[in-house]
Chains A and B, each alone.
Chain A
């Protein structure tokens, strides 16, 4: 029984992975916000298309819904402050400048923006909110630091929470597909019908499934099997990598084929958390080689 607390108090072994993941997530969020700039007023503005849900008091609600406060009605620059602030702290975070402060501000600004524009977003933004919150507690520390023990326990705890959060997502995604009275996931027709809706599809995906109904059925069942087994297979060392590669293809198809870009990319990024140290080193090496090649040109 002592092995359970020992897991939480052992020296944190995943700092390189977390640092790599954090920086990748920050890069993605930076470019995501840049792409949203033309629609900032529509999505995040008090007087924009999303409007306001009204300001709520109680618990953490006011802290997370600052852009719904009536003061935003006349001061339409406030949401821009959040957007510019988020970009600024993402840059700081990426370069590891003031890492604690930047991770707190990145979470605070992002969660306010994403909750304000919730109508326009998908599960990807919800997952980003959670991951940024958990990442605030995972910080670099060394043994000579005064608060080493506490920080080390926090690192181990929130690292486990991050991994379990992804498993919870896949578990419930499968659960609802099987539990809901709608039979289309169970009879294999869901992907075919989704591909026929322009908002969630593209010309080639629509045509592909229209001409090959068996393929659409196969993909529907594959999605169910993949999502349902994720929480188990991802812990089996031998199967993990091919399984995650399959998931990567699945999520990139969601991003490009279905056009739900943020969700697909965020899910793909989250797979970094399940990789081993050697995989992280390999990815870093490839990144370094590419940047060296670019410099030599």
Chain B
């Protein structure tokens, strides 16, 4: 009889422990998504303190935004550049000519990723240029150039150009002339930003 009672008690204890673990698992799910929601909603919807605290858990492992195609992209972005090395200069390079025809035919190859990469690069640069109030189709002033050198867009562009130079010559370029083309599909206008002698 005593053994039976002890067995029953033991079983009850075990069940209680399991229930407690079940609550713990549920609390974790709530915590996980609460922090994700706090960091993913715009600042207006949450408090800066809550976002800061949630970020400790969320970033970088669970960082997410999901603002896909928002704002709606309206420009076909094309990058063109010339690279200057010690003793030579390349012809005008348009990376997209190499992969766009393959991307339109074969959807599952790496050409699609390269196309997305170039489009993303020019998207980030455009955001910075807009912030700096730099207008297209005009000569850049030195102070605008200096301001652009401090942006994320410039950093990404520099990486891209150095990467390309490394790919074709295995060395870093001294400078580059860069032409950023944004063809707007709404008003059918081509906007170009020209950066000559970009360091």
Q: Is B113 an interface residue (CB 8 A)?
A: yes
Asked whether A193 and B72 contact (CB < 8 A) given A126-B64, A153-B21, A199-B116, the answer is yes
**Are A176 and B66 CB-contacts (below 8 A) given A122-B116, A133-B61, A194-B73?**
yes
Partner of B66, one of A2, A45, A173, A262: A173
The answer for the CA separation of A115 and B156 in the assembled complex, in Å, is 15
In the complex, what's the smallest C-beta–C-beta distance from B184 to chain A, in angstroms? 10
Asked if B42 and A261 sit within 8 Å, CB to CB, the answer is no
Give a binary string over A155-166; 1 marks a CB under 8 Å from any B CB, 0 the rest.
Answer: 011001100100
Q: Is the CB of B103 within 8 A of A259?
A: yes
> B110 contacts A39, CB within 8 Å?
yes
Query: CB-CB < 8 A to B73: which residues of A?
Result: 193-194, 197, 200
Contact between B112 and A261, CB atoms less than 8 A apart? yes
Could you tell me if B167 and A157 are in contact, using CB atoms closer than 8 angstroms?
no
C-alpha spacing A49/B117, complex, angstroms: 9
CB distance from B168 to the nearest CB of A (A): 11
* B104 CB contact (under 8 Å) in A37, A185, A202: A202
CA distance A76 to B180 in the complex (A): 30
Interface of chain B residues 58 through 85 with chain A (CB within 8 A): 59-62, 64-77
B-contacting residues, A23-76, CB 8 Å: 31, 35-39, 41-43, 45, 47-52, 59-61, 64-65
Q: Which of A6-14, A239-247, A274-282, A285-293 lies at the interface? A: A6-14
User: B46-54, B137-145, B157-165, B189-197: which one contacts chain A?
Assistant: B157-165
Q: List the A side residues contacting B56 at CB < 8 Å.
A: 59
Say whether A179 faces chain B, with CB atoms less than 8 Å apart.
yes
CB-CB < 8 A to A65: which residues of B? 60
Judged by a CB distance under 8 angstroms, whether A80 is at the interface is no
A225 within 8 A of B: no
Chain A nearest CB, measured from B100 CB (Å): 6
Task: Say whether B32 faces chain A, with CB atoms less than 8 Å apart.
Answer: yes
Q: Are A198 and B72 in contact (CB under 8 A)?
A: no
Taking CB atoms and an 8 Å cut-off, the chain A residues in 169-203 that contact chain B are 169, 172-173, 176-177, 179-182, 184-185, 189-190, 193-194, 196-200, 202-203
* With A49-B117, A153-B22, A172-B66 as contacts: A42 and B163 at CB distance below 8 Å: yes
Whole-angstrom distance from the CB of A65 to the nearest CB of chain B?
Answer: 8
Contact A60 B72 (CB under 8 A): no
User: Beyond A9-B21, A36-B110, is A198–B66 a contact (Cβ under 8 Å)?
Assistant: no
Does B132 sit within 8 A of A, measured CB to CB?
A: no
Residue of B29, B110, B162 near A160 (CB, 8 A) is B29
Q: A8-B25, A59-B56 are in contact. List 15 more A-B contacts (CB 8 A).
A: A8-B22, A36-B110, A36-B113, A50-B159, A52-B159, A59-B60, A117-B113, A120-B120, A126-B64, A157-B28, A172-B67, A180-B67, A182-B72, A197-B74, A199-B116
Chain A positions within 8 Å of B, measured between CB atoms, are 2, 4-9, 31, 35-39, 41-43, 45, 47-52, 59-61, 64-65, 115, 117, 119-123, 126, 130, 133, 149-150, 153, 156-157, 160-161, 164, 168-169, 172-173, 176-177, 179-182, 184-185, 189-190, 193-194, 196-200, 202-203, 255-256, 259-262
Identify the B interface with A (CB < 8 A).
Answer: 18-23, 25-26, 28-29, 32-33, 36-37, 40, 42, 56, 59-62, 64-77, 100, 103-104, 107-110, 112-121, 156, 158-160, 162-164, 166-167, 185-186
